[in-house]
Amino acid sequence: MKFNKLAMASAVILGSLSLQAAAATQWNVSLWGKPRAFTVHVEKLAELVEAKTKGDFTLKLSYGGLSKNKENLDGISIGAFEMAQFCAGYHRDKNPSITVMELPFLGISSLVEEAKISMALYQHPAVIKDLQRWNATLLMPTPLPQYNIIGVGTAPSKVTDFAGMRIRATGGIGQALASIKAVPTSVTATEVRMALDSGVVSAVAFAPHAHMAFGTTAAAKWWTENLNPGTVNCPVVVNSDSLAALSDTNREALLGSVEESIDHYIANYQGKTMDKWAPLLAEKNIKKISFSTAELAEFKKIAAVPIRDEWIATMTDKGLPAQELYDLVSSMIGK
């Protein structure tokens, strides 16, 4: 009799634990590459969510195991995973509204400003509607500094030397480089080193963390330290149905952890990441290229206004309030 009571008690306890385990929520998160400065905020978000919910809600991060980086938005749309990171320039037609953040020479001067403006843009009704086509809700940005170019072969001494050069560049940066007769080539981050080594491209436009993470510094001979044509916008999104299905507690844990995660990301990038950059350039004997104020002004004149006006006209034809989106972004710069 005693044995039966103990067995029954054990069964009840085990059953209760099984129910608790079954009730726990785990989201799959599709990233790419490897853990790096670009993913620090997602990693922090996972840590905070798990701590706040005492393990009831967890984020399982996958670096390339769930989807190709250019297909993350598609995966979100069909519910293949619940959260993902992507870059707008990888598929501009799929997310035209947020490509306003990739226009060249916007003048955004810091990661804090980049994050603040992106979050404001993500809350605009037209942007929300744009991403709803993919059953996606924009959660947070991945603020990045101005891109610059690392390359092999003869270093450019003036902006016009980029003419004919095949450069890995996407979005507005690619358009800006095309305006000075360079040849922008869309190569995903994970394929960049192979493209550089094989001669598919002779230069790569990246933010510092990506040059370090994807190995371009191993082959590079030169670096443009002040070209600063723009940056890319790489949001973290969630499947809208999955977000709606969360308990109120878990949803609050997720949404309430976004600001802290972004702050952590920015502190890490401005500190740990950038602290490594200058010493690495020196170690690899990579020549720093600076362009004159006059040359940069001419580059901006050629690229900024024409590309902006073309973007506004094209997006207006697509049915977006393009001028309104541009005005929202530009009105927040410097404030």
What string of DSSP letters covers 144-179?
Answer: ----EEEESSSPPSSGGGGTT-EEE--HHHHHHHHH
Q: What mean pLDDT value characterizes the chain?
A: 93
Q: List Cα–Cα distances, 217 to 25, 33, 143, 163, in angstroms.
A: 41, 16, 22, 23
Q: Is the pLDDT of residue 1 over 50?
A: no
For 57, 175, 216, 232, 318, the CA distances from 151, given in Å and listed in that order, are 44, 18, 8, 19, 36
Q: Is 67 left (phi over 0), alpha (psi -120 to 50) or beta?
A: beta
6: pLDDT strictly greater than 80? no
Band of residue 187 on the pLDDT scale cut at 50, 70, 90: confident
Structure tokens at 307: 């590309």
What is the dihedral angle through the alpha carbons of 43, 45, 46, 48, rounded to the nearest 10 degrees?
Answer: 120
DSSP label at residue 23: H
Percent residues over pLDDT 90 in the chain: 90
* pLDDT, tens digit (0-9, with 9 covering 90-100), for 70-93: 999 999 999 999 999 999 988 999
Give residues with Cβ within 8 angstroms of 41, minimum separation 6: 140, 142, 236, 261, 262, 264, 265
Number of neighbouring beta carbons within 10 Å of residue 34: 12
pTM of the entire predicted model? 0.89
Instruction: Compute the distance between CA of residue 58 and CA of residue 116 in angstroms, rounded to an integer.
Output: 26
pLDDT band with cut points at 50, 70 and 90 for residue 16? very low
Q: Please give the Cα distance from 173 to 104 (Å, whole number).
A: 6
pLDDT digits (tens, 9 = 90+) for 50-72: 999 999 999 999 999 999 999 99
Instruction: pLDDT band for 5, please (50, 70, 90 cuts).
Output: low
The predicted pLDDT at position 22 comes to 53
Enumerate domains of the chain plus CATH numbers.
2-142+232-273 (3.40.190.170), 148-231+276-332 (3.40.190.170)
* Cα 236 to Cα 228: distance, rounded to the nearest angstrom: 24
pLDDT at 4 over 80: no
Instruction: Using CB atoms within 10 Å of the CB of residue 260, give its burial: 0 to 12 exposed, 13 to 18 middle, 19+ buried.
Output: middle
User: What is the C-alpha separation between 324 and 327, in angstroms, rounded?
Assistant: 5
**What's residue 86's pLDDT?**
96
Determine what percent of the chain falls in helix, strand and coil, rounding each to the nearest 5: 55, 15, 30
* Residue that is written with structure tokens 């993913």 in the block: 39
Residue 17 has pLDDT above 50, yes or no: no
| DSSP annotation of 194 | H
pLDDT digits (tens, 9 = 90+) for 188-225: 888 999 999 999 999 999 999 999 999 999 999 999 99
pLDDT at 18: 47
Q: Residue 102: what pLDDT?
A: 96
* Angstrom distance (rounded) from CA 233 to CA 98: 7
* The residue to which tokens 């200058």 are assigned: 278
